[in-house]
A = this chain, B = another copy of it.
Amino acid sequence: MKSSPAKREEVLSRFMAERGLKTTRQRNLIIDTFFSLDGHLSVEEVWAKARELDRRVSVATVYRTMKLLHESGLAHARNFGDGQTRYEAAVGKDHHDHLICTRCSTIIEFENDQIERLQDLVARKHGFKVVSHKMELYGLCRGCQRETA
């Protein structure tokens, strides 16, 4: 599912207004690039793609912009254990979690409402108001189980 530009725009403009941020050519480019791609993107990857359209954007601006997207809630920041932060679009697709193969690094996404409901329950029990969450299951995918056996 692609992310919905309408909702995005709304969240973003409210966020930028709130913080007195300005709309710039670079920010638009980076944000559009990020949402046009899909998956779990490193800053490096977003940068590479954005540069295809404008050779002059600096990686620092990409770092700064991705951080804004994260703070605005439009992107989740993830850490899959390699040393890099990866960003993932947070609107326009249903929430999902990850199954990660520790051998071949395959990542499978899944969602499970029942788990989500239980999470809320647990949080409430501790007086928490959950804003977001991440869940990652690490193990061996079908193929790697076979090869390792």
A residues near B, CB below 8 A?
77, 79, 81, 99, 101-102, 108, 110, 112, 114-115, 118-119, 122-123, 126-142, 145
CB contacts (< 8 Å) of A118 on chain B: these are 112, 114-115, 118
- Residues on the B chain within 8 Å of A126, using CB: 99, 108, 110, 141-142
Measured CA separation A31–B131 after assembly (Å):
36
The A interface is mostly helix, strand or loop, or mixed, namely strand
- Which B residues are CB-close (under 8 A) to A129? 139-140, 145
Asked if residues B138 and A130 are in contact (CB atoms below 8 Å), the reply is yes
Chain B residues with CB under 8 A of A122 = 99, 110, 112, 115, 137
